[in-house]
Amino acid sequence: MDRKRSAAAAGQAWQIYSETLQPDAPGLWTRVRAVPRMLKSVLRGRYRGMSFGTLGLLALGLVYIVSPIDAIPDMIPIAGIADDTGLALWMAAVLVKSAGDFVTWERGGRPTVIVGEPVD
């Protein structure tokens, strides 16, 4: 990973970590435990805070990590593992951030209208 990407990944990780330390924000463990509930709610159409496109990208990312076929083979010492690690960190960041939004949504009484969504 080059320096710009490393700095961006570190900055994003720090931002999510500092967000979990806010007084009213859900903690990291609460977010991790909420991920299965969030995925279930997204698939059932109850929670619209995560799009099916994002869910699809997460699924493709998981397939890419598990698959023996890589863009950069794992036999190449550093670069082979770095692409899988970078993708796994991105996936974790998306899940933790989205799970925080989901927990806030749950605590707010599960409103059916999302801010920015047109209402008939």
Q: pLDDT, tens digit, for every residue of 10-69?
A: 677 777 777 777 777 788 888 889 999 999 999 998 888 898 999 999 999 999 888 877
pLDDT digits (tens, 9 = 90+) for 62-89: 998 888 777 777 677 777 777 788 888 8
Is the CB of residue 102 less than 8 Å from the CB of residue 49? yes
pTM: 0.71
Which helix or strand (DSSP H or E) is residue 65 part of?
helix 52-66
Tell whether the model's pLDDT for residue 3 goes beyond 80.
no
CA dihedral 13, 18, 19, 24 (to 10 degrees): 160
